[in-house]
Chain A
């Protein structure tokens, strides 16, 4: 009898550790495996291809090996980022890419970067899960003479990387403000009463988008009725908007949500409360991110303007690597071009002073079916 009970316990414990393993750690070793096998597999084709290399237009001499340590695959945005880098740093462009999905485990990411250094790859691309704790490993890379390119998220405690490619969130907020100003003028709307649904407090996207947009709120004297966080979730946006609809019934004409999911929730809440919104409605809806579903809503004239956070770092990464290969010096920071999507063909472009103090004029893209199709 006792043995039977013991057996059950052990069996249960084993099956649970299996289940738990699937969730958190399981993916890390699985992701590392291809990285470890890759060099062996790569050497053979590299040797085979060597004679025909001269014929290939992109590569001059040998194949460039690049290690890429990605955050994980938690959202569509991240998947788009991964696909973009994989597509740009491809065999056709003379690059052999070793990809490691770190599944949001920062220890696994450090390990992956160390592996790259040991394998002596030519370049390392990192999308850092956390912004600190990088100095040691980046120094190792530096000592080994491997240039490191950082994409998307930032590294705060080390400057031993050659360049960073990503989005400037403050510019996204500024562009939203500039668009709203121009749009209100074009439409003859005199008074703007704004409700804001912000992202997760303290995240870089929330800080940047709020800072940028609030510059316009302050300078234009717009009336910001309320600002609460929706945590970048649909449920959060819906809850906050439900309450807004009652507190400010008939008193607001702009809702700005800091990502598409929040906008979906806010739109559902407005629909339920009978508030008319979008292009032909009383309330202007502004959103950020511009994922496929978000752009679909811009096309359906439910969201007036959507400011993209560009996940396609691949082409810029490729440019950097080619420049470094050619021995050129590169900029420490590269801000990616980010399209601003609108649903109406009223304004051609917007002009604003960006975060680096330069006055820029950027085009507005009117969304059509093809834009939605091409979105990530």
Chain B
């Protein structure tokens, strides 16, 4: 019971932030919350947030584990997304083909290949960080630079289009289902990782290795292995996010898929109240953080803020959220609150 309360308390601030962003929308335009059915599918801004936030949420799941275990970030996730999208499209269309309506290999194999490419990238990052003890940012910088370029090579420097209807399902709708498929994918990823953390001791191991890797090793935990596994999961998540992003535009646009997503995913982890210094982590917080970022993006689009200026507004909101959640601010707030109460009590006594 106690632990549940504690988790709830941790989630409270990220949740409040998300609600405030949504509340601003409610005041600005009440139609923001309209959800309707159109042509048999759900339609509305809230659905947009859930749908479009999928990639960041999936990335945030992997990123949280990486941050927790290694006190560093995987900055290659955006590029890996692009690489796995290119890999899949290259498999499906054949090398050098830039638009196809017929698949060279079954759809499932293509998608599996893309996700596996993500996994391979995760393994490379994991090996560099856990076995060779390279700083995470430096280690992942390699694929940050190289993965996108390898993707370009796979696609023969072109945008490869897969004009095959079922390929669009993952990022859009499965016929007859009113909910965007990306939402199901996100739920599945979160569920699998949560089960992995709760039903095995992995969650505990990650925390121990993150707090003190030596101490964890001495107490019998294979810290390096745990670290490797986290990077592997992060890579797989990037692969899955890449599939969703590629399916949305039924093509592999290697220059633009996942561009700047690594930053959004790190931000999501931070917004979720997780310390970037590693150790304890909160998966739900990171997912809420991801949707907060998407809510801000959707809000700015809805309010007609020019897309060039949007990052500035976004930055201001993020700064406020991060400041409110910082320990120093919390302490200051608690102190002023205590002083005010003390003063009130004194005043009461004097009167």
Contacts and interface: CB of A to CB of B under 8 A. Distances in A.
Interface of A: 5, 8-9, 12, 16, 19-20, 22-24, 72-76, 79, 201, 226-229, 231, 233-236, 238-240, 242-243, 246-247, 261, 264-265, 268, 272-274, 293
Contacts of B132: 5, 8-9, 12
A16 B256 contact: no
A73 B98 CA distance: 13
A272 B41 contact: yes
A239 B52 contact: yes
Contacts of A235: 245, 248-249, 253, 256-257
Which bucket holds chain B's interface residue count? 35 or more
A238 B248 contact: yes
Contacts of B159: 75-76, 261
A16 B142 contact: yes
B63 interface: no
A22 B304 contact: no
Given A23-B146, A76-B98, A233 B253 contact: yes
A235 B297 CA distance: 14
Contacts of B150: 19, 22-23
A255 B157 CA distance: 30
Given A238-B248, A265-B249, A23 B44 contact: no
A75 B158 contact: yes
A247 B302 contact: yes
Contacts of A247: 302, 304
A20 B301 contact: no
B249 A76 contact: no
Given A22-B153, A75-B158, A243-B301, A233 B256 contact: yes
B149 A73 contact: no
A235 B245 CA distance: 9
Nearest to A249: B31
Given A235-B245, A242-B48, A19 B301 contact: no
Nearest to B161: A293
Interface string B157-183: 111010000000000110000000000
Interface string B44-63: 11001000100000000000
Task: List the 6 closest pairs (A to B, CB-CB), nearest first.
Answer: A23-B149, A243-B301, A234-B249, A229-B307, A233-B256, A228-B307
Contacts of B249: 233-235, 238, 264-265
Nearest to A246: B45
A235 to B, nearest CB: 5
14 contacts: A9-B132, A22-B150, A228-B307, A229-B307, A233-B253, A233-B256, A234-B251, A239-B52, A242-B48, A243-B301, A247-B302, A264-B249, A265-B249, A273-B38
A41 to B, nearest CB: 26
B308 interface: yes
Contacts of A74: 157, 255
B199 interface: no
A49 B257 CA distance: 51
B152 interface: yes
Interface in B226-268: 245, 248-249, 251, 253, 255-257
A257 B48 CA distance: 22
Interface string B280-311: 00000000000000000010011010111000
A22 B149 contact: yes
A99 B249 CA distance: 34
B145 interface: yes
B99 interface: yes
Contacts of B251: 234
B39 interface: yes
Contacts of B48: 242-243, 246
Contacts of B43: 273
Contacts of B31: 246
B221 to A, nearest CB: 22
A23 B245 CA distance: 22
A186 B69 CA distance: 67
Contacts of B161: 293
Nearest to B256: A233
B142 A20 contact: yes
Given A226-B304, A242-B48, A265-B249, A24 B149 contact: yes
Nearest to A229: B307
A231 B308 CA distance: 10
B172 A23 contact: no
Given A229-B308, A242-B48, A246-B44, A274 B39 contact: yes
A201 B245 CA distance: 23
Interface in B22-77: 31, 38-39, 41, 43-45, 48, 52
A234 B256 CA distance: 9
A234 B153 contact: no
A262 to B, nearest CB: 11
A16 B150 CA distance: 11
B180 to A, nearest CB: 9
A239 B249 CA distance: 11
Contacts of A240: 301, 307
Given A246-B48, A274-B39, 4 more contacts: A79-B158, A226-B304, A238-B249, A272-B39
B165 to A, nearest CB: 13
Nearest to B31: A246
A274 B302 contact: no
A229 B311 CA distance: 13
Max count, chain A CB within 10 A of own CB: residue among B41, B45, B256: B256
Contacts of B256: 231, 233, 235-236
Contacts of B128: 12
B158 A76 contact: yes
A370 B241 CA distance: 39
A9 B153 CA distance: 25
Contacts of A239: 52, 301
Contacts of B298: 243
A243 B302 CA distance: 6
